[in-house]
Amino acid sequence: MIWSLIKVLLFVGVAAGLAYGASLIVETPGEVRLAFAGQEMSLSPLGFIVVLLVLFLAVWVLLRLVGLLVAVMRFMTGDATAITRYLDRNRERKGFDALSEALIALAAGEGRKAQAKIGQAEKLLSRPDVTRLIAAQTAEQLGNTDRALEYYKQMLSDDSTRFVGVQGLLRQKLAEGDTATAMKLAQKAFALKPKHEGTLDTLFALQAKAEDWSGARKTLAAKVRAAALPRDVGKRREAVLSLADAGAAFSEGKKDKARDAAYAANKLAPHFVPAAALAARLHAENGEARQAARIIKKAWAESPHPDLASAFAAIAPEESPEARLKRFQPLLKMKPSHPETRLVTAELSLTAEDFPGARRALGDLAETHPTTRSLALMAAIERGEGAADSVVRGWLAKALEAPRGEAWVCEACNTAHGQWAPLCESCNSFDTLSWTTPAQTEDAASGSAMLPLIVGALQAPDREPEPEEPETAAEPEPEAPEPEEAAAPRPETQGEGRRSRDVTPPPADYVDVGAEDGDVDVGKKKGGDQVAAEDSSSARAL
Ligand SMILES: [Zn+2]
C-alpha cells in the first residue's frame, strides 16, 4: 500500500520534473550552433535534444544491423544456425518455458501434456541432450516403448547423454526379457561408468543368471572396489561364485580348475557348507585325507550338516561300519547336542548294529524334532531291537506324515531345493539358499495322501504282494545309489544335493521293507535280518 503510494508520488514527481525541465529549455533564450565541414547549423535547445535522441536511435539501429551482418557472415562461412539464433533469441526463452512445463507435467504423471510441451520445446530449443531424455521418459510413461527406444538410441550419439541412453535401452531390454542384449548394454554401461552402483547390480544379476561366473566375479570385484558392498558380503559372494565356477569346471571335465576354485571358495568362507563339502571331497579324492578332515571339522564346528557327514565318510569309503563310527568320534564330539550330530551318530550306530547306542544318540529327537529322518531312524531302531511289526509300522506311518526336515530353502521365494545351487531354481536369485526348515504345506499333505496306499501295502499279507502301486505312488525320488557309489567322491554340486536328499530317508524305502517286496533292499539279502534295510539307508547316507 505504502509502496504503491510511493510509486505514484515518484511518477508524479518525475513527470513534473520533466515538464519543468522542458519548459525551462523552451524558455531559455539562445541557440545551439553546430559547425561541421564548413557548414553551420543553429538549433533551438529543444531541437537539439530531439536531434540527440534521434542520434541515439540511429546508433542503436546501426548496432543491430551490425549484429545481423555478423550472423549473415557466419551463416555464409558454414554456421547454419547463426541467423536463426540471431533472430530467435526469444524462441529460446519460450522453449525453456515449454521444457519446464513438460518436466512438471511428467512429474505429475500427465503424460499427454508432457508430450505436447516437450514437442514444443524440441522445436523451439536446440538442446537435444535435454529434450530427448524428457521426451524418452514421457514416451515411457505413455507406454510408447518404440518411441522411447528411438530417443534412447539417438542419445547414444552424444557424449553427454550416452550413458543415460544406454541405461534407457537396458531398462527396455530387461522389461522385454531380452537378456542377451541387456547383458551387452550393461557391459557398455559398466565400461562408461565402472562405479555406477545400479549398473553393477544389473550386470551382476545378468551374469549370475547366465551362469557367467568369471564375469560375475569381475563385476563383484568392481563393486567391492567401488565400496558399494561390505567386505564380508563381498567375500561370501566371491566364495559362492568360486564354488559355482568349480561346479561348472568340473562338469566340463577341467578337474584342476575345479579343484583350485573349490579350495579358493573354502578358503574364502570356511564355514560355507557346500564349499567345505566339495573341497573336502576333492582333497580326499586326491589322497589328502588330513586336509579333507580338517576342512570338514572346521565347518562342522560352526554348522553340522549331513553333506559334511557324507563328505567325511567319503574320506575312507572302504572302512567297516565300526571303524567309521570310531573315526567319526572327534567330529561328533564337537557339537554333541546338535540334532545333526545326534542323527548322524544314530545312523552310524545303526550301520554298526549298535541299536542301544543308536537309541541313546537319538534320545527324544523323534518327539522334539519329528522329521521323516528322525522317525524313520526310530522305526529302524525298534526293528533292530526286535519290536513288534505294529510298533515299527507306527513309526513309519508317523515318518510319512512328518515334515521332511531341513532343506536348502530360498530366502526370496521359499522354494525348497534338494541340493545347494548358486541360483534359486524357481526365482533365479543369487545366493539365497539357506539350510533351514521349509514352510510345511505340500510335503505333509502329499505324505498324508500317500498314507492309505502305503499302510495298505504294509498290511498286505506276504502271499499277495502289491509292488506296483506303492512303488509308483511313493517314488518321489530318484533311485537311491548303492553304498559303494555313495562312498565314492562326487564333487560336483549336483552330487552334493543328492547326498543331502539321500540322507533324508525317502518314504519309498520303508514301503519296500514293509511290503516284503521281492526286489527290495540290501536288507532282504541278509535274510530275515529286518534291520538291514535301514542299514542300507544309513549306509547310503554315509
Ligand atoms: Zn527363489
pLDDT digit string (tens) for 433-490? 999 998 865 444 444 444 444 444 444 333 333 333 333 333 333 333 333 333 333 3
Question: 305: pLDDT confidence band, cut at 50, 70 and 90?
Answer: very high
How far, in Å, from the CA of 311 to the mean position of ligand 1? 26
How far, in Å, from the CA of 438 to the mean position of ligand 1? 12
How far, in Å, from the CA of 425 to the mean position of ligand 1? 7
Inter-residue contact 312 to 274 (CB < 8 Å): no
Measure the CA–CA gap between 10 and 29, rounded to whole angstroms: 30
- Cell 554456421 -> residue: 79
φ and ψ of 303, to 5 deg: -150, 95
pLDDT (mean) for 399-428:
91
Taking CA atoms, 514 is separated from 311, 390, 398, 463, 471, in Å, by 30, 11, 14, 13, 12
pLDDT (mean) for 79-98:
76
**pLDDT above 70 as % of the chain:** 79
φ and ψ of 29, to 5 deg: -75, 160
The b-or-e profile of 460-477 (16+ CB within 10 A means b, else e) is beeeeeebeebbebbeeb
How far, in Å, from the CA of 424 to the mean position of ligand 1? 5
Inter-residue contact 327 to 348 (CB < 8 Å): no
Listed residues: CB within 5 A of ion ligand 1: 410, 412-413, 415, 424, 426-427, 429
Measure the CA–CA gap between 366 and 376, rounded to whole angstroms: 9
How far, in Å, from the CA of 170 to the mean position of ligand 1? 24
How far, in Å, from the CA of 275 to the mean position of ligand 1? 20
How far, in Å, from the CA of 223 to the mean position of ligand 1? 23
How far, in Å, from the CA of 403 to the mean position of ligand 1? 20
Residue 481 DSSP symbol: P
pLDDT digit string (tens) for 308-356? 999 999 999 999 999 999 999 999 999 999 999 999 999 999 999 999 9
The strands making up 416-417's β-sheet, listed across from edge to edge, are 416-417, 407-410, 433-436
User: What is the reported pLDDT for 84?
Assistant: 66
Residue 410 DSSP symbol: E
pLDDT (mean) for 39-57:
84
How far, in Å, from the CA of 145 to the mean position of ligand 1? 30
Spatial neighbors of 299 by CB under 8 A, at least 6 apart, are 270, 271, 272, 273, 276, 277, 305, 308
DSSP string across 279-297: HHHHHHHTT-HHHHHHHHH
How far, in Å, from the CA of 410 to the mean position of ligand 1? 5
How far, in Å, from the CA of 475 to the mean position of ligand 1? 25
Inter-residue contact 332 to 345 (CB < 8 Å): yes
Tell me which of 215-219, 278-282, 367-371, 447-451 is least confident: 447-451
pLDDT (mean) for 248-253:
88
Measure the CA–CA gap between 283 and 294, rounded to whole angstroms: 10
Strand partners, 434: 409
How far, in Å, from the CA of 15 to the mean position of ligand 1? 83
Residue 77 DSSP symbol: T
φ and ψ of 284, to 5 deg: -60, -40
User: What is the reported pLDDT for 441?
Assistant: 55
What three-state secondary structure class fits 440?
A: coil
How far, in Å, from the CA of 506 to the mean position of ligand 1? 24
The b-or-e profile of 330-366 (16+ CB within 10 A means b, else e) is ebbeebeeebbbbbbbbbbbbbbebbebbbebbeebb
How far, in Å, from the CA of 434 to the mean position of ligand 1? 11
Q: Which residue type is seen at 23? A: S
Choose from 5-9, 13-17, 139-143, 410-414 the range with maximum mean pLDDT. Answer: 410-414
Spatial neighbors of 334 by CB under 8 A, at least 6 apart, are 297, 300, 301, 304, 341
How far, in Å, from the CA of 533 to the mean position of ligand 1? 36
How far, in Å, from the CA of 422 to the mean position of ligand 1? 11
CA 483 from centroid of its chain's CA atoms: 38
Spatial neighbors of 48 by CB under 8 A, at least 6 apart, are 32
User: What is the reported pLDDT for 140?
Assistant: 87
Cα R_g (the chain), whole angstroms: 42
How far, in Å, from the CA of 203 to the mean position of ligand 1? 19
How far, in Å, from the CA of 218 to the mean position of ligand 1? 24
DSSP string across 485-505: HHHS---SHHHHHHHHHHHS-
Which residue in 369, 362, 363 sits closest to 348, CA to CA? 362
How far, in Å, from the CA of 205 to the mean position of ligand 1? 14
How far, in Å, from the CA of 440 to the mean position of ligand 1? 16
Question: 80: pLDDT confidence band, cut at 50, 70 and 90?
Answer: low
What mean pLDDT, rounded, does the chain reach?
80
Measure the CA–CA gap between 45 and 54, rounded to whole angstroms: 14
Q: Which residue type is seen at 420? A: W
pLDDT digit string (tens) for 113-131? 999 999 999 888 888 888 8
Tell me which of 118-122, 280-284, 371-375, 522-526 is least confident: 522-526
Which residue in 219, 221, 270, 223 sits closest to 243, CA to CA? 270
User: What is the reported pLDDT for 2?
Assistant: 80
How far, in Å, from the CA of 174 to the mean position of ligand 1? 19
How far, in Å, from the CA of 420 to the mean position of ligand 1? 12
What three-state secondary structure class fits 505?
A: coil
User: What is the reported pLDDT for 457?
Assistant: 43
How far, in Å, from the CA of 423 to the mean position of ligand 1? 8
In the structure grid, which three cell numbers stand for residue 351, read together?
Answer: 550301520
180 versus 505: the higher-pLDDT residue is 180
User: What is the reported pLDDT for 49?
Assistant: 83
Measure the CA–CA gap between 88 and 104, rounded to whole angstroms: 25
Measure the CA–CA gap between 163 and 185, rounded to whole angstroms: 10
Measure the CA–CA gap between 431 and 454, rounded to whole angstroms: 38
How far, in Å, from the CA of 253 to the mean position of ligand 1? 29
How far, in Å, from the CA of 451 to the mean position of ligand 1? 30
How far, in Å, from the CA of 284 to the mean position of ligand 1? 32
Supply angle C-alpha 208, 213, 217, rounded to 5: 95
How far, in Å, from the CA of 417 to the mean position of ligand 1? 9
How far, in Å, from the CA of 529 to the mean position of ligand 1? 44
User: What is the reported pLDDT for 24?
Assistant: 80
Contacts 24+ apart (CB under 8 A), 168-174: 168/136, 168/140, 170/202, 172/145, 172/148, 174/202
User: What is the reported pLDDT for 523?
Assistant: 35
What three-state secondary structure class fits 423?
A: strand
How far, in Å, from the CA of 293 to the mean position of ligand 1? 32
Inter-residue contact 75 to 82 (CB < 8 Å): yes
How far, in Å, from the CA of 240 to the mean position of ligand 1? 16
The pLDDT of residue 50 is above 70 = yes
How far, in Å, from the CA of 333 to the mean position of ligand 1? 35
φ and ψ of 40, to 5 deg: -125, 145
How far, in Å, from the CA of 411 to the mean position of ligand 1? 7
How far, in Å, from the CA of 426 to the mean position of ligand 1? 5
Strand partners, 43: 32
Taking CA atoms, 535 is separated from 274, 306, 385, 474, 539, in Å, by 26, 16, 13, 20, 6
How far, in Å, from the CA of 430 to the mean position of ligand 1? 8
pLDDT (mean) for 202-219:
91
